[in-house]
Structure 1
Amino acid sequence: MNDQLKMLFQIFWTFFKIGPVTFGGGYAMIPLIEKEIVEKREWLKIDDVTDIFALAQSVPGAIALNASIFIGHRISGVKGSIAAMLGILLPTFIIVLSLGMLYMLIKDHPMVEAAFTSVRTTILALIVYAAKKIGKTAIFDKSTLCIVVAGVPILFFIHPIFVILIGMLMGVIIVWIKRKLGYFTILDRQHKEADGGSKDCSLSVEPLEKGG
């Protein structure tokens, strides 16, 4: 029981520290989650975090909250989800409540406007960094590269949820076609490199042995 409570407190405290500095929404969390949960705590791998953020964006609700709940559940089940949710929500609630009471007094102050301008620029840098980290694990062959290239312009015309669903459908179709053609499909970069594959965007399929 003590070990479980200790783990739940660690989950709560980790997300409590992440929450106050997550300007810019869920994707700005990725560098912090990578540092705290992947590198420092070693609770999850970066591939797991990438999958969780993809899932968190595909369901209703704020991506930061969804991602924290999914991550907490992966670490310690339902209780871990609750601990992570409280950790990510509590500091944000306190900060928003405090700023809401002070907003009318400071909203037109030039120093405040300058600070928020700088914060917006920093958010952009965090999102670009997060995209780079996700890209390293998500793009590893011609198929995944083509999905990204096709998906970005589509985002200008349709809702992101439909882009995610289309991407999922494309992935299923591509794997089905490759297997019908008699190819074994490598589904992530880690397995590709472990099998001696190159790190460029070559087609990640291998012929199946006949008669095996």
Structure 2
Amino acid sequence: MKFYYELFMLFFKIGMFVIGGGYAMIPFIKAEVVENKKWLTEDEFLDALAVSQSAPGILAVNVSVYVGKRLRGVKGIVAASLGAVLPSFLIILIIAIFFKNFQDNPYVIAAFKGIKPAVIALILTPALSLAKKAGITYKNVIIPIAIATLIALFNISPIIFILLGIFGGNLYYRGERK
């Protein structure tokens, strides 16, 4: 029971204090799960991210489900995902109740504007770390940049690129095995 509480509190703490959504939470989840607790290896965490990003839903919740399942099965899923979801639910509930009272407050507006650069940095940090771990270097960085540009400029569904990646990876590694 103690482990489930620890798992719940880990994701609850991250969900409560990290602003910026799932991508901003990734460095904190990685620090706790891989470096501090040593529940997953670096490669397992990279796999968790790959699976979590390709599954529908919120990234942080998907990662929590993966970690919970990997560590303790269904009970681990419940503890970790509740820990990941509950802070956001409570915060949104409180904001919804009181937001009308302070939405035009210049200090609140300034605070949200000030948070944006920090959130971008929190998103870029794991992206660069994962790119390095996945073997993306300055030589082959053109592929993710080109795909991101095509998605942004031409509104192409990312699913197409995921399917092309699956197909292309199978072709490439099938040829490499022979």
User: Could you state the TM-score of these two structures normalised by the residue count of structure 1?
Assistant: 0.76
Once the two structures are TM-superposed, the CA of residue 111 in structure 1 deviates from its matched residue by: 0.4
Does residue 1:35 correspond to 2:31, yes or no?
Answer: yes
Equivalent position of 1:65 in the other structure: 61
Equivalent position of 1:151 in the other structure: 147
Tell me, which stretches of 5 or more residues in structure 1 are unaligned?
Answer: 181-212
The amino acid that maps onto 2:38 is: E
Structure exhibiting the larger radius of gyration computed from Cα positions = 1
Equivalent position of 1:13 in the other structure: 9
Superposition CA RMSD, Å: 2.0
Is contact 2:52-2:66 (8 Å) kept? yes
Equivalent position of 1:178 in the other structure: 176
Is contact 2:64-2:81 (8 Å) kept? yes
Does residue 1:44 correspond to 2:31, yes or no?
Answer: no
Equivalent position of 1:23 in the other structure: 19
Once the two structures are TM-superposed, the CA of residue 150 in structure 1 deviates from its matched residue by: 4.5
The amino acid that maps onto 1:163 is: F
SS at match of 2:56: coil
Q: Aligned equivalents of 1:168 and 1:149: distance in 2?
A: 18
Equivalent position of 2:100 in the other structure: 104
SS at match of 1:155: helix
140-149 or 42-51, larger mean C-alpha shift? 140-149
User: Could you state the TM-score of these two structures normalised by the residue count of structure 2?
Assistant: 0.89
Once the two structures are TM-superposed, the CA of residue 38 in structure 1 deviates from its matched residue by: 0.7
Query: Deviation above 6 Å: which 4+ runs of structure 1?
Result: 141-144
Could you report, residue by residue, the CA deviation over 1:63-112 in whole angstroms, capped at 9, with x for unpaired residues? 22112111211121111111011101111111111111110011000000
Tell me, which stretches of 5 or more residues in structure 2 are unaligned?
Answer: none
1:119 is aligned, of 115, 120, 141, to 115
Q: Aligned equivalents of 2:114 and 2:91: distance in 1?
A: 19
1:168 is aligned, of 147, 163, 166, to 166
Q: Higher helix share goes to which structure?
A: 2
Aligned residues: 176
Equivalent position of 2:126 in the other structure: 130
Q: Aligned equivalents of 1:153 and 1:28: distance in 2?
A: 21
Indicate the structure whose relative CO is greater, using CA pairs within 8 Å and at least 6 residues apart.
2
